[in-house]
Structure 1
């Protein structure tokens, strides 16, 4: 049976105000959060990408809510194929790694870290849009502070790909390369 929340996803648009409206609904009703996580990975549902847009906004404010869903989230991100879902997933990965490495509010398991690392490299070298690549570069930079093998790999990839990308990619690449050296 389709819930009222799932029906409401039909009304979500790419506009920031629209995404925030539905994120606020989840923020005001935490019991919707597990349903939101499930919807994100129900890729047969035409609104799964919209669910990811909302999840990203919720995670900006209540990242700690994802704690009990980390194993599911990290194990499922590899199944994403739609760029509209991959971009917010990459941003959430960046938020998770930032929280894990700096604030220690989110404790990721070794397996979670490996899955985020693998997917970030896949998104970086794969055929994804620049925003996803930028989030992946920043995530991998942070992970490289935990795993010493990541920075040399990251440096090789972004140096090789640098000439073939947009100004946005180049800006992030320059920023990270300065930090690596």
Structure 2
């Protein structure tokens, strides 16, 4: 996985997008295979900026947060540390407020909603951002924002 992550995080290379897609498929099928490289993953997600790469990386973050907070997967809970969670939080807020496509924003909303159960400052910030951007959002953005806001209230 480390060589694949190395390619994925060559963020200005269009080939990195394909590596990110492979990482996403791997994470969805067998999350445990990326866990040994969480330092590399968490340390680099904030630098990903090409839209075809941001979407799969945001999805991996969502898969990780669901495994950590919802299913409480033992291996995931033992692997992810506070630093990893903070890096995911930072990246998700960047994707949510940045000029990115709706899918990355939607995955970020879910991740941040889950992370808010550990870091109490996240929910008020998330709610403020969603309410502020709601009127200008696409139909898909509004739908996910409505779902997320309903869970926050």
State TM-score, norm by structure 1.
Answer: 0.79
- RMSD after superposition: 1.1
Give the counterpart of 2:18 among 50, 56, 66. 50
- Counterpart selection for 1:176 from 143, 148, 153: 148
Note the C-alpha offset of 1:43: 2.8
SS in 2 for 1:163: coil
Unaligned runs of 5+ in 2: none
Aligned counterpart, 1:117: 89
Give the paired residue count.
149
Quote the residue 1:165 is aligned against: 137
Q: What secondary structure does 2:45 align onto?
A: helix
Distance (whole Å) between structure 2 residues aligned to residue 44 and residue 167 of structure 1 = 30
Higher relative contact order (CA 8 A, sep 6+): 2
Q: Report the Cα offset of residue 44 of structure 1.
A: 4.6
The residue aligned with 1:91 is: 59
Match of 2:71 among 79, 86, 103: 103
| 1:155 partnered with 2:127 | yes
Q: Which runs of 5+ in 1 are unaligned?
A: 1-32
Q: 1:93 & 1:70 partners in 2: Cα distance?
A: 11
Q: Which structure has the bigger radius of gyration?
A: 1
Runs of 4+ in 1 over 3 A off after TM superposition: none
Q: Deviations over 1:30-53 (max 9, x none)?
A: xxx332222111235431101111
